[in-house]
Structure 1
Amino acid sequence: MSCYPKTEAALLVWFTQMLSKNCCLNGPVMLEKAMFFSQTFNEGIPPSSWLQRFRKRQNINFHNVCNEKGSADIINANEWSRNTLPSLIKDYQRSNIYNCDETGLYYRALPKGTMEFSGTQPLGFKPDKEKVTVLFIINGDGSDKNLYVVGKFKNPRCFKNKKLPVKYYSNKSSSMTTSTFEDILKEWDSSLKKKILLFCDNASCHKTKLTFNNIKLIFLPANTTSLIQPLDMGAIRSFKCHYRKGIMRKMITLMEGNDTISFYKRFTLYDSLYLIKFAWGEVTSTTIIKCFINFLISLWHLIRNRRMI
């Protein structure tokens, strides 16, 4: 017997309707809609565990419709953290120690799987492969969070007569390149009012011969970024979680009145830039501070009585 009878009945009807439109429905999407119904019927907010029981009662299964750390150099990472890192940061306050990293984002990608009634086989569809690259720059106390997006097209139609919410660059591959990275750092360097230390991985696109007035660029050792790079300690993951949650909410709104194909047509790159900005804003300074603590944890054992961090 369900503790949320009205919510469960409404969700089952909605689920059946969405299946008829060949929509992809995963756990977060289902739970988001269940919360909407529960608030509508004043039945309280169902916990995430309730969804598992709902699926079992209604005989609903999940199907796939398309189907670094193991190579990290732990010894080199520990050696660098203990012997090289202390001398690098000794003259910098925590707020002046930065990290940058980028990630690829399929900005219109729908869930890879969907829920279906047992005994049925869901129809697959061609996934959307339009991608942007997002560059993040953060500092050690979470007080400064910068964001840049690299896309494929310089002036897409959806940008016409509109002010962009984030800094946007373009190239044919929609990936980070040395020239794009240099352009970003030059513009950022000119706006800085302080001397900062910027850590980044040793990817070829980051290898620049330029020198900057306010930025001292330091490359992390090869094959260690998954172990010691702050942005890889949870900040990027948090951003993507917030972004996907926003996508799911947008998808629910669109697919209830239209088929899922219209999602690709109606959710533009311009819309994505706003969602990227919102999702990055949802990443808290607490999350960023924890990421830097992991980065500096080895150093803390060496200098615990010094106020360097």
Structure 2
Amino acid sequence: MPPKKASVSGKAGGDEKKIVRKTIEFKKELLMKYESGVRVSDLAKEFSMANSTISKILKNKDDQRRGISSPPIFNCDETGLVWKKMPRRTYITQEEKSMPGYIPTKDRFTLLLCGNASGDCKIKPLLIYHSENPRAFKANNIMKSKLPVMWRSNTKAWLTRQYFTEWVHEVFAPAVKRNLEEKKLLLCYLLVMDNAPALHPGLEDDLTDEFDFIKIKFLPPNTTPLLQPMNQQIITNLRNCITNSVSTILRGN
């Protein structure tokens, strides 16, 4: 008769403790349960760990929260939207189109969008239009400071380095700083953006000392369709939403 194999269990009856890896997912689950009211002794029984081990993890919960939170990485990108344009196929004859005074209706603006990697911090957009005070604003007594966007203007409705720097100082940096302080995270974050010639060289030098913890990284040239996070359906969905809203307003619904 062959000899019996030695038992590999640490205790008879298979009462050995489970080996729990202290991964980020485990610590996140532990903190969530503790903050919801679960006692340390109950957590120790659930995870088959000593009370002292659970207490040690919870004692450094602020440091743990910094490790399990979403990385402070933000991404921004601009898009142009022609919101008022005549359709290509109209009842206007070719002769009318070729007349010297014919100018088709075309109105556009540029919108700069920004958000963080986890999607829980959306920054107020920057909107550039060709008019500083449109007639609709004057007629309805609209205050630009109350708008959900930062309003700027130039003749071509283009994003410039000056407007981008103003947006960073007045909107982006203060909003991100508040977000990081609420989460008790370190004041250090990364802004990823495309390789725009007007913004690329020495952009960090334009930032004041108050916001010197902002680090800016540019994507390689000609990689926006593949690597730009804002181009992964975010801008497209927003453009569709704006188009549908304008169409609804024009129909009077």
Fold match, TM over 0.5?
yes
Match of 2:132 in 1: 154
From 155, 166, 173, the counterpart of 1:189: 173
Offset at residue 92 of structure 1 (A): 9.9
CA contact (8 A) 1:201 1:225 kept: yes
Report deviation, 1:110. 5.6
Distance of 2:162 and 2:119 partners within structure 1: 27
CA-CA distance at 1:129 after TM superposition: 1.5
Pairs within 5 Å for 1:198-209: 198-207=191-200, 208=203, 209=205
1:131 aligns with 2:108: yes
Does the 8 A contact of 1:95 with 1:143 survive in 2?
no
Residue 143 of structure 2, aligned match among 135, 147, 163:
163
Residue equivalent to 1:176:
159
Supply the distance in 2 between the matched residues of 1:127 and 1:197 (Cα, whole angstroms). 43
Q: Which residues in structure 2 correspond to 1:39-58 (within 5 Å)? A: none
The number of residue pairs the alignment matches comes to 156
3-state SS, counterpart of residue 245 of structure 1 = helix
Q: Distance in 1 between matches of 2:70 and 2:105?
A: 41
Partner of 1:233: 232
CA drift of 1:242 comes to 0.8
Give distance in 2, aligned partners of 1:92 and 1:112. 52
User: For 2:81 and 2:71, how far apart are their aligned partners in 1?
Assistant: 28
Q: CA deviation at 1:157?
A: 2.7
Structure 1 gap segments, 5+ residues each: 1-90, 114-121, 255-309
Structure-2 separation of matches of 1:145 and 1:109: 29
Q: CA RMSD in A?
A: 2.5
The AA in structure 2 aligned to 1:202 is N
SS in 2 for 1:176: coil
More helix by proportion, 1 or 2?
Answer: 1
Post-superposition offset of 1:177 = 0.6
1:210 paired with 2:206, answer yes
CA drift of 1:158 comes to 2.2
Q: Which has the higher contact order (CA 8 A, sep 6+)?
A: 1
- DSSP 3-state at the match of 1:150: strand
C-alpha distance in 1, partners of 2:143/2:217? 34
Q: Give the whole-Å Cα distance in 1 for the aligned partners of 2:83 and 2:213.
A: 33
Answer yes or no: is the 8 Å Cα contact 2:85–2:106 preserved in 1: yes
Question: 1 CA distance for matches of 2:245 and 2:105?
Answer: 17
Distance 1:99 1:233 in 2: 12
Residues 135 and 127 of structure 1, relative CA distance in 2, 3 Å threshold: same
Partner Cα separation in structure 2 for residue 174 and residue 202 of structure 1:
19
Q: Which amino acid aligns with 1:198?
A: L
Q: Percent identity?
A: 30
CA contact (8 A) 1:97 1:198 kept: yes
**Alpha carbons of 1:143 and 1:191: their partners in 2 closer, same or farther (altered >3 Å)?**
closer
Q: Deviations over 1:143-168 (max 9, x none)?
A: 11221101112222322331332211
Secondary structure at the aligned position of 2:80 is classed as strand
Given that 2:109 and 2:157 are in contact with CA atoms closer than 8 Å, whether structure 1 keeps it comes out as yes
Q: Deviations over 1:205-254 (max 9, x none)?
A: 22223233342111001111110110111100001111111122122229
TM-score in terms of structure 2 length: 0.55
Q: Is the 8 A contact 1:106 1:128 kept in 2?
A: no
Question: Does the CA contact (< 8 Å) of 2:77 and 2:194 recur in 1?
Answer: yes
Offset, 1:94: 2.9
What is residue 109 of structure 1 aligned with on the other side? 85
Give, in whole Å, the separation in 2 of the partners of 1:141 and 1:93. Answer: 9
In structure 2, distance between residues paired with 1:242 and 1:220: 27
**In the TM superposition, what is the alpha-carbon distance from 1:112 to its structure 2 partner?**
4.5
Any residues of structure 2 matched to 1:23-62 within 5 Å, and which?
Answer: none
Q: Displacement, 1:178? A: 0.8
Which secondary structure state, in structure 2, belongs to the residue aligned with residue 172 of structure 1? coil
